Amino acid sequence: MIKVYRNTGTIKAEQFDCSDEMVNRYGLIDRGGHIVDDLHVDNMCFIPTLECQMKINLHDWIATNANGEHWPITDDVFKKTYAELPVIPKNVAKHIVTEHGLSDLIPICGGIYRSMIQTVVYGYQKGDIGDWIINHSDMFARAWLDGYVVEGKHD
């Protein structure tokens, strides 16, 4: 029987722009290149990976895992495979951490449900955390399940 799996790991990724700064930062091997037209550069860059050197093209993505290893991903594959983590306010992140702590013995979905229902049942005022949760419910659920980045704390 074929089973379906989801990827539970996170990566950091940056879209390759052929800049000298990115070539240097990632230790790319620049085999020279030339401008094909005003919008495209045939850069002939290669990224060293654990297995081999892999060609990387303009607009491909350079992925980095938790061990600091890099590899290229084509733009179309990247867009089909990865979604950016939601950026949420600090007070919402604190609420998620607190609720996860209280929900250790309750299924995750129960925790999300309880958080959202309490916001509606007990009311909320414009501008408070409940207002944000109600107006960003999809983002709140994704942050709860997949992780998040706190506003203003980007690397």
Are 74 and 133 contained in the same domain?
no
pLDDT given at position 77 = 93
What is the predicted pLDDT for the residue at 13? Answer: 93
Dist CA 140 CA 30 (whole Å): 42
Is 70 exceeded by the pLDDT of residue 19? yes
Please tell me the predicted confidence (pLDDT) of residue 83.
80
Looking at 80, 103, 133, the residue that finishes a domain is 80
Residue 5: inside a domain: no
70-95 mean pLDDT: 89
Would 7 be classed as within a structural domain? no
3-state secondary structure 21-86: HHHHHCCCEECCCEECCCCCEECCEEEECCCCEEEECCCCEEEECCCCCEEEECHHHHHHHCCCCC
Final residue in a domain of this structure, among 62, 80, 98:
80
76, 91: one domain:
no
Residue 17 sits in the same domain as residue 76: yes
Give the per-residue pLDDT at 99.
66
Q: Is residue 114 part of a domain?
A: yes
Angle at which helix 90-102 crosses helix 108-121, to 10 degrees, equals 120
Q: Does any domain span residue 26?
A: yes
Residue 1 lies in a domain: no
**Same domain, yes or no: 73 and 22:** yes
Phi, psi of 31 (to 5 degrees): -95, 20
Better-scored residue on pLDDT, 131 or 123: 131
Of residues 130 and 14, more confidence is placed in 14
Separation between Cα atoms, residue 90 and residue 96, nearest integer Å: 10
pLDDT of residue 89: 92
DSSP designation for 126: T
Q: What is the pTM of this model?
A: 0.63
Q: How many domains does the chain have?
A: 2
Domain that holds residue 136: 87-150
155, part of any domain: no
Is the residue at 6 inside a domain?
A: no
Domain limit, last residue, from 80, 105, 140: 80
Q: Are residues 16 and 74 in the same domain?
A: yes
Residues 53 and 93 occupy one common structural domain: no
The model's pLDDT over 24-74, given as tens digits with 9 standing for 90+, comes to: 899 988 776 544 445 555 557 899 888 899 999 889 999 998 888 999 999
> Is 75 contained in some domain?
yes
Average pLDDT in the chain: 77
Q: At what angle do helices 137-146 and 90-102 cross, to 10 degrees?
A: 60
